[in-house]
Structure 1
Amino acid sequence: MRPRGLNTGQVGAGTLFNPEISVILDGVFYWDDEDGDIPTPAGFGGGHHHHGHGHDHAHGELDQGFNLRETEIVFAAAIDNYLDAVVTLAIEGDSGIEVEEAYAVTRALPAGFQMKFGKFLSDVGYINKQHPHDWDFVDRPLMNELLFGDHGLQEKGVQVSWVPATPFYTRLGVEVLQGETSGVANYVGSGRHEIVGYAEGTGGTPDRLRWRTNYGLDDVDGPRLFTGFAKFAPDLGYEHALQVGVFGGYARSFQDVETHSSGRVEAWDGDGWFAGTDWVYRYDAGRSYGHGDWRLQAEYMYRRLSLDYFEGVPGEVGSTTSPEFQNRETRKNDGLYIQAVYGFAPRWSAGLRYDVVGLTNNDGYDSFDESHRYSANVTFTATEFSRFRLQVNHGRYEEDDDHGHGDFTQVMLQYNLSLGAHGAHSF
């Protein structure tokens, strides 16, 4: 590693921590015709062996009416001549603060190498590494939300990437991650030892406790998730730009537990892998404020989980009784989205997106049809610091309660405001 600019004078403590700071506000007015009761598409509710509408998070935890969705506070600075650092804090409405990203990245490794370490959004695919204010639509594509989880693939670990000296842009990378992402590397961990319920007792005192003691789930130390990606961008001149990517990952542990009021426990333990491809094309018309520009984007991803299924009723406190092995099951799911955005006037753009999940759709016991969602929006970008968007979604989801398909319509009006420093967007 070579230090950068050592002959330009000593970097004093007064400039070492002088970060660029930005605050990004994201508000949404939301309405749907199902009174907020939009189910999770069949086959994507975790694979639990019960029927029902699943979890009501299909629209990103939005309530009917006004929402302050996510406020991001971003700190970015050079630590020294060797490292840059970024910390992103996310305030989810008024519920609390989460460290969304906190990582350092090297500045001057030789031969085109770079290392990132800390907590970060993975570079697999295209949209996963983007924050909500970078999206061309109000909501995340279904593929990313349902196959990775509500926050995408966001992990603690290390990434090593390489940009070799080739005639066209090439970037190769691998990531070694802790393995906690709900969709591909869910890990129960210490949750196996939590109190899950009380047996009915006399005099208001429970006779015994049901305890998560030895569910048959293995202790698996991290790192548990390993990913790789490759991105290629041929030189098409000034007006046109194309990037093609492939990616994949292997989770050496995937665990899940479902408890029931009767005391019955279901548990799954195994491993899994995923693979996909992403395509992005951009056309720059050379006119002012995005007029005439095109952006086309598409991704596909396949996920496969191989799991041992256990079922039973744990004993009393201190018991080592485990749910008994029932069978081995394989969950197979996939999804894709295609979207296009066109700048039809200075500062104005219109977008269309098609989502489909479940082209392959088996939860280990049942097979389901695919679910579809269609989206259209109009966006006004007043400046690079303020944006307003109206979006309409219409979905047709396969339901896992033998009711066939359920149709719904969503309307969202969004404002997105950026205060302070505003970094350049990546391709």
Structure 2
Amino acid sequence: MPLTPFSRPVLAALASLTLAAPGTAAAQWTAGDDESAWGMDVSLILEGIYYNELSHGNDSPAGFDDGHDHGHGNGDDHGLDDGFNLGHSELGFQARLGDLLDATVIIEFDDQDIEVDEAYLTTRALPGGLQLKAGKFLSDIGYINNRHPHEWDFVNRPLVNEYLFGDHGLLEKGVQATWLAPTATYTQLGVELLQGETSGIANYEGSQSPLNDQDRILRDRSGPRLVTAFAKIGPDLGPDHAAQFGVSGGYARSYQVTDEHSTRFEDWDGSAWFAGVDAVYKYSAGRAYGQGDWRLQGEYFYREIDVDRRDVNFEADGNGPVGFVRNEQSFKNQQDGIYVQGVYGFAPRWEAGLRAEALGLSNDVGRGDGESFGTSYRHTAQVTFRPVEPVFLRAQLSQNDFVDDHGDRDRGLEFMLQLNVALGAHGAHRF
């Protein structure tokens, strides 16, 4: 929601709680005489980004521009103005609710908007390695999807995650169940039932038009509309090496998109599914402040949308009266993407990374006409300095090699300088 005269002092008051050391009165509350005392940890992540578009290329990859209007300001696809920007900042609350539940709320804000990013409960004491999560949360599909920007190795998320699952990744309301197998090799299996409203795999629009109900083609469908499943395996490679391999997929039983034209709606109605693999390898050299450490990471995802397309008049025209249906078609859209990245600690507190991305290796989209777009690429290099553990400064240079809807390729070059500061209680990052 937009910042208002009321929300600004509220946000300032909440942020001031994180300036005290973790565990003090300003950062923790207890239940007093209650034997099942609970505490709340508060953290604040502040991010600033300097952005400079050194040369302008195509704004977005061909075939992937639906639902990705990021820009405000000069129209770049990151929502950043040339110059200084307040990036992805967040205020987090975590509480242990006795011995049964953990509660997490993460509020995201910038200089214009504030919204609840995640809000969920997680069980603590279920038997047999089971755990349940319920609320609004980032899905555990793939590797990077459930990680917040301060956990990334680059300033921006990979193209495949952004353009297949949405601006914030796969972020939905629903429930998740995971099972940790009682084996020497780390093995986790999980399923999620999600509402299916905002992700690129499960776009959903209810009946919103000036048409009468009997004239409307798209129907409101109750959730959950999206189910996902994933498996993660981490073999034991000894004290200096670690790896994790994952597979994941999902099915959306309701995929709906509506575009409004001068006198008609263009309606897409059908289903969608996706599948992907991910792998991460980490090496610890055992030297001070990360020197000699390696991190290698990659993901591939494929998406297929199977829809019926119709044009429906909401005004009478030369083709027919209000509610007239024409141009009915059935077709499938197929798209995918991949990225591979590596980061190396070349000196104490210093690291450098490279990332290569391809989006639309399979890029068959259209309106049943078999239209196929080309593949878009992005190549990125970064250098990161961590003067103290909660702070990092990152310089990044990216070349966007995007093909447009006409098949023309136009390269752009952009530079970003990111400052990220973590205040208050903040848990260790996941593997």
- TM (norm. structure 2) is 0.86
Q: Structure 1: how far apart are the matches of 2:327 and 2:303?
A: 24
Residue of structure 2 equivalent to 1:231? 232
Change (3 A) 1:90 1:13: farther
Q: Which amino acid counterpart does residue 52 of structure 2 have in structure 1?
A: W
Q: In the alignment, is residue 86 of structure 1 matched against residue 104 of structure 2?
A: yes
Name the SS for the 1:133 alignment partner.
helix
Conservation of the 8 A alpha-carbon contact between 1:252 and 1:270:
yes
Residue of structure 2 equivalent to 1:137? 154
Q: Which amino acid counterpart does residue 393 of structure 2 have in structure 1?
A: F
5+ residue gaps in structure 2?
1-30
TM-superposed CA distance for 1:18, in Å, is 2.8
Q: Structure 2: how far apart are the matches of 1:138 and 1:33?
A: 17
TM-superposed CA distance for 1:46, in Å, is 2.9
Q: After the TM superposition, which residues 332-351 of structure 1 pair with which residues of structure 2 at under 5 Å, given as runs?
A: 332-351=334-353
Q: After the TM superposition, which residues 146-185 of structure 1 pair with which residues of structure 2 at under 5 Å, given as runs?
A: 146-185=163-202
Matching residue within 29, 32, 49 for 2:53: 32
Q: Deviations over 1:173-196 (max 9, x none)?
A: 000010113310011125x23x6x
Residue of structure 1 equivalent to 2:249? 248
TM-superposed CA distance for 1:352, in Å, is 0.1
TM-superposed CA distance for 1:64, in Å, is 1.0
Conservation of the 8 A alpha-carbon contact between 1:291 and 1:346:
yes
TM-superposed CA distance for 1:43, in Å, is 1.3
Conservation of the 8 A alpha-carbon contact between 1:157 and 1:178:
yes
Name the SS for the 2:63 alignment partner.
coil
TM-superposed CA distance for 1:45, in Å, is 2.0
Change (3 A) 1:329 1:46: farther
Name the SS for the 2:111 alignment partner.
coil
Q: Structure 1: how far apart are the matches of 2:52 and 2:269?
A: 39
Change (3 A) 1:38 1:11: farther
Change (3 A) 1:263 1:14: farther
Residue of structure 1 equivalent to 2:414? 410
Name the SS for the 1:227 alignment partner.
strand
TM-superposed CA distance for 1:87, in Å, is 0.4
- TM (norm. structure 1) is 0.87
Residue of structure 2 equivalent to 1:189? 206
Change (3 A) 1:12 1:246: farther
Matching residue within 87, 97, 104 for 2:121: 104
Residue of structure 2 equivalent to 1:326? 328
Q: Give the total of aligned pairs.
A: 391
Conservation of the 8 A alpha-carbon contact between 2:58 and 2:411:
no
Q: Deviations over 1:151-192 (max 9, x none)?
A: 1000110000001111200000000010113310011125x2
Q: Structure 1: how far apart are the matches of 2:412 and 2:147?
A: 27
Q: After the TM superposition, which residues 109-124 of structure 1 pair with which residues of structure 2 at under 5 Å, given as runs?
A: 109-124=126-141
Q: Structure 2: how far apart are the matches of 1:72 and 1:213?
A: 45
Q: Structure 2: how far apart are the matches of 1:259 and 1:291?
A: 55
Q: Deviations over 1:349-392 (max 9, x none)?
A: 00000010110001133101100000000000112211000000
- Give the RMSD, CA atoms, in angstroms: 2.2
Q: Structure 1: how far apart are the matches of 2:215 and 2:222?
A: 16
Conservation of the 8 A alpha-carbon contact between 2:263 and 2:315:
no
Residue of structure 2 equivalent to 1:42? 62
Q: Structure 2: how far apart are the matches of 1:127 and 1:145?
A: 11
TM-superposed CA distance for 1:17, in Å, is 5.1
Q: Structure 2: how far apart are the matches of 1:384 and 1:54?
A: 35
Name the SS for the 1:144 alignment partner.
helix
Conservation of the 8 A alpha-carbon contact between 1:337 and 1:354:
yes
Q: Percent identity?
A: 50
Q: Deviations over 1:280-339 (max 9, x none)?
A: 0000000010000000000000000001111142137xx961543520121100000000
Conservation of the 8 A alpha-carbon contact between 2:396 and 2:416:
yes
Conservation of the 8 A alpha-carbon contact between 1:215 and 1:322:
no
Name the SS for the 1:332 alignment partner.
strand
TM-superposed CA distance for 1:348, in Å, is 0.2
